[in-house]
Amino acid sequence: MPFMTGLYTATMAGFAALASGTAVPISRLAGWELALGAGALIALIAAGVWAVRLREPDLATGALPSRPSAAHPVRPRCGPPPSRGRSPPTSRSSPLCSTCC
């Protein structure tokens, strides 16, 4: 996981540097509107690719990505799930989860 996080961070930093390094030359040649639009166009293309990718089935299982419903809500990963019928423990000293934070 650290490798993928580093790769993601390096990719984001590299494309941010590319965008900032090309914004001034593009704005001098064609105006600031085109320089701003070029960055927005790349972001829209990336959003479209992600939207298509999120609808594809999982390659390992063939299952579509699941969405949480009211019957099966997503629980936070902070501590054990609350027991039914009892309220979870609270802490007056911290506004965070008293189980693990």
> What pLDDT band is residue 5 in, cutting at 50, 70 and 90?
very high
Q: Enter the DSSP assignment of 20.
A: H
Angstrom distance (rounded) from CA 47 to CA 73: 26
Q: Where are the domains of the chain?
A: 2-55
80: CB partners within 8 A, 6+ apart: 99
14, 2 in Cβ contact below 8 A? Answer: no
Instruction: Tell me the two tokens of residue 42.
Output: 């790349």
3-state secondary structure of 100: coil
Angstrom distance (rounded) from CA 44 to CA 52: 12
pLDDT digits (tens, 9 = 90+) for 70-84: 555 555 556 555 566
pLDDT confidence of residue 89: 55
Kindly tell me if the per-residue pLDDT of 94 is higher than 50.
no
pLDDT digits (tens, 9 = 90+) for 19-74: 889 889 999 999 999 988 888 888 899 899 988 888 777 666 666 666 655 555 55
Cα 27 to chain centroid distance, Å, stands at 30
Q: What angle do CA 89, 91, 92 make, to 5 degrees?
A: 140
